[in-house]
């Protein structure tokens, strides 16, 4: 597992009988030359001791949020920044609930919530706790925050019951971490461009034509690409969304500005055009505010078609060009038409007449139309999960 060599992993051990498996995780990580720091929760210390952890990790164990010694050596912000990733194993129902609801009453939850790194959780709990609606809701929420779930498995439990909720085996957890770093290494030379959000086409200095796009799906795709190691540029129309500082964010307003920003960001290996670019702009923008009149006639002209231009350009065209189609009717017909007319490799289409998905929603359901006439449906789920699936397909295509 060469991809783990010299990586820095922060392991958080929570309470539960599965905590003993964390010692084997430490042993396997050390065997692969991983640098480990450990946070042991108060309940976790009921199952494993700091001495046993230190003996294996050859590093100090952090326990108390308000320890003067810890704060002088490394405060919770620094600890969260130190790691290449955070692994919570075992992750109890209580810890999962804390993180899903933004509670930080101990060192483990404070460090996790303060982190800007990838977070893996390996749940371990009784089958009834795992199946409880509140746990399912909390897990779904963490997925929208880009937490990565490892397990749990189905099997016999220490309490004597059988079912889902058993923590994954240490070797399986370590392999997941190794695959994560492997993908980062494999994709870090690949460049991606994502456009997102609406455009504003001005009528006068204070008025403009726009649309209802929130930019959420495009932003999530950019985040997913970054997580997988892509050098990612996000060209965004006006939104209130935020992204990781590692994403090269370019803010624009008009379609022309987005077009120029796209040209300046090329070449790239993949381009995802998820922005809802205005089809039309005002032919002559007034330099002064137009006063109210009974009838105002605006002469419109077609905007630059960014997707069509890039997709049909011989030298600028990326290896993979993906367009989006937001439709209110005849979804398949219009998506296929756009796929063919604009020479895209894929079109990702959704029905924005459904208020539960699409514009301004955190959820989506899409159909992917491929150049080879195949079609694939990604069922209703958070936009972050849709994005992760799309990026996995992008990686498979490029490789």
Q: Which residues are identified as catalytic? A: 159
339-346, long-range: CB < 8 A, 24+ apart: 339/369, 339/371, 341/308, 342/305, 342/307, 342/308, 342/311, 342/312, 343/308, 343/311, 343/312, 344/307, 344/311, 344/371, 345/320, 345/321, 345/370, 345/371, 345/397, 346/320, 346/321, 346/322, 346/370, 346/371
Identify the H or E element spanning 287. none
**CA–CA separation, 268 vs 286, rounded Å?**
37
The answer to whether 35 touches 6, Cβ cutoff 8 Å, is yes
CA distance 134 to 12: 22
HSE toward the beta carbon, residue 319, CA cutoff 13 A? 12
Which residues have CB under 8 Å from 219's CB, separation 6+?
196, 234, 236, 239, 241, 243
CB of 158 closer than 8 Å to CB of 17: yes
Mapped onto helix, strand or coil, the DSSP state of residue 322 is: strand
201 phi and psi angles, rounded to 5 deg: -110, 110
Does residue 39 contact residue 95 with C-beta atoms inside 8 Å? Answer: no
User: What's the Rg (C-alpha) of the chain?
Assistant: 24
SS3 298: coil
- Which three-class secondary structure string do you get for 15-28? CCHHHHHHHHHHHH
Query: Which residues sit opposite 236 in a β-bridge?
Result: 196, 251
Distance, CA of 36 to CA of 39 (rounded, Å): 10
Go through the chain and tell me how many residues it has: 399
User: Side-chain half-sphere of 334: how many Cα atoms within 13 Å?
Assistant: 12
Kindly report the number of other CB atoms within 10 A of residue 76's CB atom.
22
Give the count of beta carbons closer than 10 Å to the beta carbon of residue 386: 24
């Amino acid at each position: 597992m060469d991809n783990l060599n010299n990586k820095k992993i922060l392991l958080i051990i929570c309470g539960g009988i599965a905590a003993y498996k964390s010692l084997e995780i430490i042993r396997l990580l050390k065997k692969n030359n991983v640098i480990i720091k450990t946070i042991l929760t108060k309940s976790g210390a009921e199952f494993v001791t700091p001495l046993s952890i230190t003996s294996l990790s050859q590093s100090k164990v952090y326990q108390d949020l308000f320890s003067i010694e810890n704060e002088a050596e490394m405060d919770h912000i620094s600890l969260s920044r130190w790691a290449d990733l955070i692994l919570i194993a075992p992750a109890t129902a209580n810890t999962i609930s804390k993180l899903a609801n933004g509670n930080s009453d101990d060192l483990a939850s404070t460090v996790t919530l303060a982190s800007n790194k990838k977070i893996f959780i390996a749940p371990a709990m009784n089958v009834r706790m795992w199946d409880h609606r509140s746990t399912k809701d909390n897990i779904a929420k963490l997925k929208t925050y880009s937490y990565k779930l490892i397990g749990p498995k189905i099997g016999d439990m220490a309490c004597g019951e059988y079912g889902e909720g058993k923590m994954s085996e240490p070797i399986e957890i370590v392999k997941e971490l190794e695959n994560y770093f492997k993908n980062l290494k494999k994709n870090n030379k690949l460049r991606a461009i994502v456009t997102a959000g609406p455009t504003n086409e001005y009528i006068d200095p204070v008025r403009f034509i726009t649309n209802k796009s929130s930019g959420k799906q495009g932003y999530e795709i950019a985040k997913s690409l970054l997580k997988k190691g892509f050098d990612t540029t996000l060209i965004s129309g006006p939104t209130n969304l935020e992204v990781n500082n590692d994403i090269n964010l370019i803010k624009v307003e008009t379609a022309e500005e987005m077009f120029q920003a796209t040209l300046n960001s090329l070449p790239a290996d993949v381009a995802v055009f998820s922005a809802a670019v205005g089809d039309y702009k005002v032919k002559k923008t007034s330099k002064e505010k137009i006063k109210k009149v009974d009838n105002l006639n605006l002469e419109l002209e077609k905007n630059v078609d960014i997707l069509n231009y890039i997709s049909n350009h011989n030298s600028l065209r990326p290896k993979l060009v993906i367009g989006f189609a937001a439709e209110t009717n005849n979804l398949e017909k219009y998506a296929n038409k756009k796929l063919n007319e604009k020479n895209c490799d894929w079109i990702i289409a959704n029905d924005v007449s459904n208020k539960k998905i699409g514009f301004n929603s955190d959820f989506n359901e899409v159909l992917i139309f491929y150049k080879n006439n195949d079609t694939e449906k990604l069922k209703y789920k958070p936009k972050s999960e849709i994005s992760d699936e799309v990026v996995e397909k992008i990686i498979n295509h490029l490789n």
